[in-house]
Amino acid sequence: ITRMEYVHTKSLIYRDVKPENFLVGRPGSKRQHTIHIIDFGLAKEYIDPETKKHIPYREHKSLTGTARYMSINTHLGKEQSRRDDLEALGHMFMYFLRGSLPWQGLKADTLKERYQKIGDTKRATPVEVLCENFPGESTAQPPAPSPLSPVPLSPCVPAEEMATYLRYVRRLDFFEKPDYDYLRKLFTDLFERNGYVFDYEYDWAGKPLPTPIGTMHSEVQVQPPNRDKAQPHTKHQVSN
């Protein structure tokens, strides 16, 4: 969230959220605890450099981004803004938590039909359903309340934070500045209530790196007929 906020402070929207574009600093380096964003080929200025005003709301836009993670409004052909980057982040978070998303693996005769099915499935999947069955959920009872923790949580009890996050970003207005502090606090409060500490021990630490074989998922790159004025060399990329 902080990385995306920084991108937005530079008058840019990212428009290509996917796991492959977020890298953690190398162990032992000065930036080993920093998440780096790469590949700004689809980034676009949302503040006009001449007028200093937000770009106008438009519809009937072609798809730009990675279909698995892009926002619902992007599927509907609406111009992207800061809200869409954050919604795509939410979809990526749920992909990490669940291991897959309900709109993966959909069959269609054409790419256009597949993207339509992905968008339809996103709209038809309630946030509560999307966020309820991720690893860690259990029927175990939470610990008894205490004055210091009126809403106690444990790693075995599903939290509402992800659902709250997605509902918030999906309700943002096109021009609205997101409350990044509020979104961060959702998760830092959960972190503290569970008694976690920042030990920087990640799941993948000490594991051998896999040998890449081809691409991680199908990807189609199409050159749009009309490039955005702010991005004269932007590539058009859609993948499932």
How far apart, in whole angstroms, are the C-alpha atoms of residue 29 and residue 102?
37
Query: For 220, phi and psi rounded to 5 degrees?
Result: -120, 130
Please confirm, yes or no, whether 109 is among the known catalytic residues: no
Whether 240 contacts 68, CB under 8 Å: yes
Out of 16, 39, 84, 203, the active site residue is 16
Whether 14 contacts 36, CB under 8 Å: no
**Residue written as token pair 């959920």:** 137
Residues present in the chain in total: 240
Whether 50 contacts 11, CB under 8 Å: no
Q: Would you give the DSSP letter of residue 54?
A: B
How far apart, in whole angstroms, are the C-alpha atoms of residue 71 and residue 126?
14
Query: For 115, phi and psi rounded to 5 degrees?
Result: -65, -35
Active site residues: 16
